[in-house]
């Protein structure tokens, strides 16, 4: 985008802006540098994000583990089954 087109866009947004005021706005705009993602936050988030897929994996893992433990304990007769409770 050329300077005149940029100035025309600014004028359409803010109303009539003189050349001095436009130059001031351009200088101020160039000083703004925090519009991107903070590098430290991005670096910290890279290793610390727990995705929904990972949470689902953990839940399924614990469910299967508990079922296997239950079947193992029933096999050792540590936990009575419905059949033994009814007789």
pLDDT over 70 at 13, yes or no:
yes
CA 70, 75, 80, 85 torsion-angle sign: positive
Q: Domain segments of the chain: what residues?
A: 1-49, 57-86
**What pLDDT sits at residue 3?**
80
- Model confidence pLDDT, tens digit, residues 24-56: 888 888 887 666 656 655 665 666 666 677 778
pLDDT over 60 at 17, yes or no:
yes
Average pLDDT across the chain, whole number: 76
Rounded Cα–Cα distance for residues 68 and 76 (Å): 12
């Amino acid at each position: 985008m050329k300077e005149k087109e940029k100035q025309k866009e600014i004028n359409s947004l803010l109303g009539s802006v003189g050349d001095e005021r436009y130059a001031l706005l351009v200088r101020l705009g160039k000083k703004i540098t925090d519009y991107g993602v903070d590098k430290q936050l991005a670096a910290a988030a890279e290793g610390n994000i727990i995705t929904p897929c990972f949470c689902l994996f953990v839940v399924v893992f614990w469910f299967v583990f508990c079922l296997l433990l239950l079947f193992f304990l029933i096999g050792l007769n540590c936990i009575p089954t419905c059949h033994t409770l009814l007789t």
